[in-house]
Amino acid sequence: MSHSYSDQKVINPATNPSFDEVLTARLSRRGLLKGAASLAMLGSLPLSLAGCATGGLKREGIIGFSSVPLSMGDSVRVPNGYTANVLLAWGDPIGHASGSPAFKQDASNTADEQALQTGMHHDGIHYFPLPYSSDGSGSSTSALLAINNEYIDEGLLHGDGFANWSAAKVRKSQNAMGVTVVEVRAGASGSWDIVRPSRYARRITGNTPMGLSGPAAGSARMMTAANPGGNECLGTLNNCAHGYTPWGTYLTCEENWDNFFMNSGAMTPDHTRNGITAKGRGYRWHEFDERFDAGKHPNEPNRFGWVVEIDPYEPQSKPVKRTALGRFSHEGAWPSFGDDGRLTIYMGDDRQFEYIYKFVSRDAWNRNDRKANNTLLDNGTLYVAKFNDGSGEWLALEHGKNGLTAAAGFRDQADVLIRTRAAADAVKATPMDRPEWIAVHPATREVYCTLTNNSRRGVDKSPGTNPSNPRAANTFGHIIRWREMGGDPAALKFQWDIFVMAGVPDHPDPAKRGNIKGDAFGSPDGLWFDDGGILWIQTDVSTSVLHTGDYERMGNNQMLAADINTGEVRRFLTGPNGCEITGVINTPDGRTMFVNIQHPGETSSERNDPAKPKAVSSWPDGVSGGRPRSATIVIRKNDGGVIGT
Ligand code: FEO
Ligand code: CA
Ligand code: CA
Ligand code: CA
């Protein structure tokens, strides 16, 4: 259900690149035995990627904190010498000029009130200094925070859950998702507050009008009864992780948007390939908002599954879905900047056996006039990754190339983009173990990607292992990294290796021990480089398996810091019960860190019983609160130093 549905159903029918043959060839060449020894070997292939990692950094990030132990406590724990405070929880008013309705602990706030309050299930987050600065510096005390609100738990959102289901409840659900923009300011002591009211405060929801642009906009497949032009839609859904542009816009990414659809009529191949089912996943929106019945409105799903660009500095601006970046379960959209000023955006498709993509802009961005970049993300090339034996290549998803022709069933570029997964299947991209976040090293441009887990890898009739996804029944996940040819983000070839295989060092099954140097973790998801080159790893062990089976001794979800030069991984934070840790960003001076705690109190079914909302957690409000709430927290070092050092 809901978010981690991606761990429960394979929707990629492609059998193309099962790389068992490649792996077998590789291992036999190296004279390795099967099993744990070969995994360990793959995990430590020297790629000569490190070494120059500290050159060119804004500051040097040497990990300097004491490791935090695993925890099953209902609180946020950070190292000695650090303090974490709650800044902005679900339901807190954002400070909009129309009003600041207070959160009601019994969840009796209306849909209209929710539209003026922080959304639910915080995920990706970015810091936009006030005022805008084009060189990546800017204020470390005044800013806008853009925060994704990924999905909803109806058992917490409404006092009586799905009982008395109504149009008003559907509208409240839609208003609890999307993006929250707030203005924040640091006080003299380093404490942070929300500025209320603020002209920048804004909610973007499942019903906010937004434009469609790029090659797929206006195509026949985008047209609906409500929008015959195929150029405008209502809302953004399941906003998982994020990205940003150097011209100061926020990219929010539509991940498991298909969860909100059902289909009472004929299922198209594209509906199926994107995970839509006849019954839907129980959100029941279609009962009062017919567009979520894909049988009645077969093109409505085509208007979701995109990357959306939002200008937080212009609160009246209309968000735009950028179709040139492809359509799938977008985890995030992370930029890398080429010497020529063109922008490359790395993107994962978080489903079992789906792919890693990148978009390369046709044009260089304009540093002097941020508005001149309004259509920069509409022109460029979308590529999908093929991981060979230590090297890799980017295959263009361009109509007329690589077999993506009319004869092969692709009408035009709009069709290639709307059916991105089918195009990637056709060019024989490498199916991965659920690509989540991607992080680009600030000096070397080396790219790291979390492959969170894939319990079906090599199980039953599912695709087998391949060099880049070398572990069958991969319950712990791994982090892969690559370096583009010549250090150019736009290059068509790369070299890769595996940075770390996650696991439990003393697991009885040697294949599940991984090769972590330091603290144990599994299901890596959030991933981010700070300006000092520390790699921050956040985990999302699904609540359906948390504290059981392989995860019996792993504790609550956590955040760790990795030194990519030594490979050491050290635990920095543990979260409250039932939560996932996702989303992290620092101020430009590195002295304040914002982290999101998502879905504290989530049950193993991922939906709370409305009669017992505090069954798993009462974080952050404790005894005085009525229900757990996702929240952004602020972390400071007590001596005011740089976080992590
Ligand atoms: Fe929303 Fe794949 O995490
Ligand atoms: Ca994620
Ligand atoms: Ca995840
Ligand atoms: Ca989760």
Confidence (pLDDT) at 68? 98
Could you tell me the distance, in angstroms and rounded to a whole number, from the CA of residue 59 to the centre of ligand 3?
30
Confidence (pLDDT) at 11? 74
User: pLDDT (tens digit, 9 = 90+) per residue, 152-185?
Assistant: 999 999 999 999 999 999 999 999 999 999 999 9
Distance of CA 592 to the CA centre of its chain: 22
Q: Is 254 in the pocket of ligand 1 (CB under 6 A)?
A: no
Residue 14 confidence class, pLDDT cut points 50, 70, 90: low
Q: Is 158 in the pocket of ligand 1 (CB under 6 A)?
A: no
Residue 401 confidence class, pLDDT cut points 50, 70, 90: very high
- Give the span between the Cα atoms of 191 and 126, in whole angstroms: 18
Confidence (pLDDT) at 12? 80
Q: Is 92 in the pocket of ligand 1 (CB under 6 A)?
A: no
More confident residue, 295 or 21: 295
Q: Is 350 in the pocket of ligand 1 (CB under 6 A)?
A: yes
Residue 638 burial (CB < 10 Å; 0-12/13-18/19+)? Answer: exposed
The domain ranges of the chain are 19-255+305-637, 256-304
Closest residue by CA, ligand 1 atom 1: 240
For residue 301, say if its preceding peptide bond is cis, omega within 30 degrees of 0. no
Atom of ligand 1 nearest to the CA of 348: 2
Per-residue CA distances from 564 to 50, 143, 332, 488 (Å): 7, 30, 22, 20
Confidence (pLDDT) at 13? 64
Lowest-pLDDT choice from 3-7, 468-472, 542-546: 3-7
Contacts of 560 (CB under 8 A, 6+ apart): 518, 519, 521, 536, 537, 539, 569, 570, 571, 572
Confidence (pLDDT) at 26? 37
Q: Is 580 in the pocket of ligand 1 (CB under 6 A)?
A: no
- The length of the chain is 645
465 secondary structure, DSSP code:
-
Nearest ligand to the CA atom of 604: 4
Confidence (pLDDT) at 61? 86
- Give the span between the Cα atoms of 8 and 474, in whole angstroms: 13
Burial annotation 64-74 (CB, 10 A radius, 16+ → b, else e) = ebeebebbeeb
| Average pLDDT across the chain, whole number | 93
Q: Is 331 in the pocket of ligand 1 (CB under 6 A)?
A: yes
Q: Is 150 in the pocket of ligand 1 (CB under 6 A)?
A: yes
User: pLDDT (tens digit, 9 = 90+) per residue, 201-234?
Assistant: 999 999 999 999 999 999 999 999 999 999 999 9
Atom of ligand 1 nearest to the CA of 331: 2
Confidence (pLDDT) at 60? 85
Per-residue CA distances from 332 to 83, 103, 181 (Å): 29, 29, 18
Task: Say whether pLDDT at 609 is over 80.
Answer: yes
Residue 55 confidence class, pLDDT cut points 50, 70, 90: low
Atom of ligand 1 nearest to the CA of 434: 2
SS3 322: strand
Confidence (pLDDT) at 9? 59
SS3 585: strand
Atom of ligand 1 nearest to the CA of 240: 1
73 secondary structure, DSSP code:
S
Task: Say whether pLDDT at 576 is over 60.
Answer: yes
Could you tell me the distance, in angstroms and rounded to a whole number, from the CA of residue 125 to the centre of ligand 4?
16
Atom of ligand 1 nearest to the CA of 256: 1
- Indicate the class that CATH gives domain 19-255+305-637: mainly beta
Could you tell me the distance, in angstroms and rounded to a whole number, from the CA of residue 14 to the centre of ligand 4?
26
Query: Within a 10 A sphere around the Cβ of 460, how many other Cβ atoms?
Result: 6
Task: Say whether pLDDT at 37 is over 90.
Answer: no
User: pLDDT (tens digit, 9 = 90+) per residue, 426-478?
Assistant: 999 999 999 999 999 999 999 999 999 999 999 999 999 999 999 999 999 99
Residue 34 confidence class, pLDDT cut points 50, 70, 90: very low
Could you tell me the distance, in angstroms and rounded to a whole number, from the CA of residue 242 to the centre of ligand 2?
10
Per-residue pLDDT, averaged over 641-645, amounts to: 97
- Give the span between the Cα atoms of 627 and 603, in whole angstroms: 13
Could you tell me the distance, in angstroms and rounded to a whole number, from the CA of residue 27 to the centre of ligand 3?
30
Residue tagged 């492959």 (tokens): 451
Cα atoms in the 13 Å half-sphere on the side-chain side of 64 = 12
User: pLDDT (tens digit, 9 = 90+) per residue, 284-331?
Assistant: 999 999 999 999 999 999 999 999 999 999 999 999 999 999 999 999
More confident residue, 188 or 74: 74
Could you tell me the distance, in angstroms and rounded to a whole number, from the CA of residue 540 to the centre of ligand 3?
5
Q: Is 255 in the pocket of ligand 1 (CB under 6 A)?
A: yes
The amino acid at residue 273 is: R
Residue tagged 């712990």 (tokens): 476
Q: Is 3 in the pocket of ligand 1 (CB under 6 A)?
A: yes
Residue tagged 């805008």 (tokens): 132
User: pLDDT (tens digit, 9 = 90+) per residue, 86-132?
Assistant: 999 999 999 999 999 999 999 999 999 999 999 999 999 999 999 99
Could you tell me the distance, in angstroms and rounded to a whole number, from the CA of residue 169 to the centre of ligand 3?
27
Task: Say whether pLDDT at 43 is over 70.
Answer: no
Confidence (pLDDT) at 498? 98
User: pLDDT (tens digit, 9 = 90+) per residue, 226-258?
Assistant: 999 999 999 999 999 999 999 999 999 999 999
Lowest-pLDDT choice from 13-22, 301-310, 499-508: 13-22
Could you tell me the distance, in angstroms and rounded to a whole number, from the CA of residue 607 to the centre of ligand 1?
17
- Give the span between the Cα atoms of 205 and 224, in whole angstroms: 20
Could you tell me the distance, in angstroms and rounded to a whole number, from the CA of residue 615 to the centre of ligand 4?
17
Which has the closest alpha carbon to 285: 302, 262, 269?
Answer: 262
Atom of ligand 1 nearest to the CA of 329: 2
Nearest ligand to the CA atom of 435: 1
Task: Say whether pLDDT at 338 is over 50.
Answer: yes
Confidence (pLDDT) at 7? 46
Task: Say whether pLDDT at 198 is over 80.
Answer: yes
